Amino acid sequence: MNTGKVWLVGAGPGDIGLFTLKGMETLKNAEVVVYDSLVGQGVLSKIPKTAKCINVGKRASHHTMPQEKINEILAQEAKKGLKVVRLKGGDPFLFGRGGEELELLAREGIPYEVVPGVTSPIAVPAYNGIPVTHRDFTSSLHIITGHKKQNQAYDIDFEALVRTKGTLVFLMGVTAMGDILNALMKAGMEKDMPAAILQKGTTAGQKRIVATVSTLEEEVKRRGIETPAIIVVGKVCALAEEFAWYEKLPLAGYKVLVTRPKDLISSMAEKLRGLGAEVLELPAICTQPLEDQSALYQAFEAISSYQWIAFTSPTGVKVFFDEMKKQKLDTRCLGSVKVAAIGNGTQKALEEKGIFADLVPEVFDGEHLGKALCQVCEGKEKILIPRAKIGSRELTDQLKKKEGIQVDDIATYDTFYDKQDVINEMKEFEAGNIDCAVFTSASTVRGFEAATHGLDYSKVRAACIGKQTKAAADALGMETYMSECARIDSLVQLVVELKDKKTRKKE
């Protein structure tokens, strides 16, 4: 029997940037993913579409599945010969019951590995400007579970904790915060000892309340807090205001949905995260080369008869050169053919193939590419357009206006709308959890519509890259905004402006 293997993977505290490289690589190859509710959505969005997903939803007082059952599932799936990833918030061995999950696997001889994760007792204070150790204040850190069984006293030596004079971090202790703080004071802790509660650290929902052990409970009642949250007690909490850095980032506290073609890495998401946004990156469309490329192969045979090749997307570039490779053709066969391209992404894809575009319109859409080609053509040119099966007619409509131009508009790939089941996009928008959706093409708007059928689209604030994209979002009734020019940097700037607008409104 081919026995599979289990990987216990720590997903970190929420921010996908804190998910380890090894964790990402392991997740990428998973055939089964068993995950809990503390795993950040950014990490969940990276689960392979082909993987079987099992939500065991563990969270304080809301256990959807007993621990023993989870252990059995891991063993059962591995026995089928599958690669099983047990994805856990934070680190698997820090109050993650990872040890319990390994017991059954070890007993049954099922292979396993542990991939540690960045843990919240260190990362969340760091995102709030609180160093858990500081030579002027403390030389020790103590991490304690604040969770206790109902109607039972804590099995914690609070007096010993107070004597350490160290930083104390309580996990899963929000509902019993009053009991914890009172027990510390009863054990001899000074009433004016700084204390903080840190909500949803490393995500857009991050919030902190800093007070003292005697006043924190009252402050929380006054200002409110949501779970998950951690409690930090110690002199280092007094440094929070001085060392705070996350909230100073332009997009801190802003959650953005970025839609993209599945096979394209999003530089948009990278730039937004760099500015502090929590980015949920979900594929809205996926592309697939056509099985029958005979029309393109005929064009290859007559390539010297073309004066121009016009590329409208990075995918179009990729498929074109992949098919050239299959036919054992290299770039020399293009000879003196000139190349036109829409947009920075397409330009970049061409440059990676060693080709610099001769023509790129100022406005990145089919209409302006068509107009630009008409201006540089004398009227006897032959133009090849290898692109999506459902391509915009704006480009070809413009080229028809110039007498004598011959156009070979060849479909090389098809576009499909994609949907993932782990994150409910519709629910996120209805709950008001996403501040803004970013669309980089009209097809990503249509893909988003297919994934959220039935949503009240007036709840969606849409940042759009150009006229066509905005028109598609307007047609659904979204609250739309368009970037000044059709460039990624301009679209990022628009998102920053939308966040500023929201902040001013609150004030």
The pLDDT-based confidence of 266 (bands split at 50, 70, 90) is confident
Q: How is the chain split into domains, by residue range? A: 5-118, 122-246, 255-287+419-506, 290-415
- 181 pLDDT more than 70: yes
Report the b/e string of 179-212 with b at 16+ CB within 10 A: ebbebbbeeebeeebbbbbbbbbbbbbbbbbbbb
Q: Do domains 5-118 and 255-287+419-506 have the same CATH topology?
A: no
Check residue 31 and report its DSSP letter.
Answer: S
pLDDT at 264: 60
360-395 pLDDT tens trace: 998 778 888 999 999 899 878 999 999 988 877 888
- 325 pLDDT more than 90: yes
The pLDDT-based confidence of 151 (bands split at 50, 70, 90) is low
- 58 pLDDT more than 60: no
- 451 pLDDT more than 90: no
- Angle CA 430–447–498, to nearest 5: 55
Q: Decide: residue 265, CB within 10 A, 0-12 exposed, 13-18 middle, 19+ buried.
A: exposed
Q: Is the distance from CB of 74 to CB of 34 less than 8 angstroms?
A: yes
- 150 pLDDT more than 70: no
pLDDT at 344: 80
DSSP states along 126-193: HHTT--S-BTTTBS-EEEEE----TT------HHHHHHHT-EEEEES-STTHHHHHHHHHHTT--TT-
Report the b/e string of 293-324 with b at 16+ CB within 10 A: beebeebbeeeeebbbbbbbbbbbbbbbbebb
CATH fold of 122-246 reads 3.30.950
Q: What is the CATH number of domain 255-287+419-506?
A: 3.40.50.10090
The pLDDT-based confidence of 284 (bands split at 50, 70, 90) is confident
- 186 pLDDT more than 90: yes
Percent residues over pLDDT 70 in the chain: 96
237-254 pLDDT tens trace: 999 999 999 999 999 999
pLDDT at 366: 85
- 88 pLDDT more than 90: yes
User: Which of 117-131, 155-169, 441-455 shows the lowest per-residue confidence on average (mean pLDDT)?
Assistant: 441-455
The pLDDT-based confidence of 447 (bands split at 50, 70, 90) is confident
User: Which of 26-30, 76-80, 118-122, 425-429 shows the lowest per-residue confidence on average (mean pLDDT)?
Assistant: 425-429
CA distance 63 to 224: 24
| Positions marked active-site | 36, 58, 172
Percent residues over pLDDT 90 in the chain: 68
The pLDDT-based confidence of 262 (bands split at 50, 70, 90) is low
pLDDT at 59: 53
- 60 pLDDT more than 60: no
The pLDDT-based confidence of 296 (bands split at 50, 70, 90) is very high
> Which amino acid would we find at residue 386?
P
- 506 pLDDT more than 70: no
pLDDT at 265: 60
- 310 pLDDT more than 70: yes
3-state SS string for 328-391:
CCCHHHHCCCEEEECHHHHHHHHHCCCCCCCECCCCCCHHHHHHHHHHHCCCCCEEEEEEECCC
Considering the domain delimited by 5-118, tell me its CATH architecture.
3-Layer(aba) Sandwich (3.40)
Sheet with 207-212, strands from edge to edge, namely 141-145, 167-171, 229-233, 194-199, 207-212
The pLDDT-based confidence of 57 (bands split at 50, 70, 90) is confident
CATH 3.40.50.10090 correct for 290-415: yes
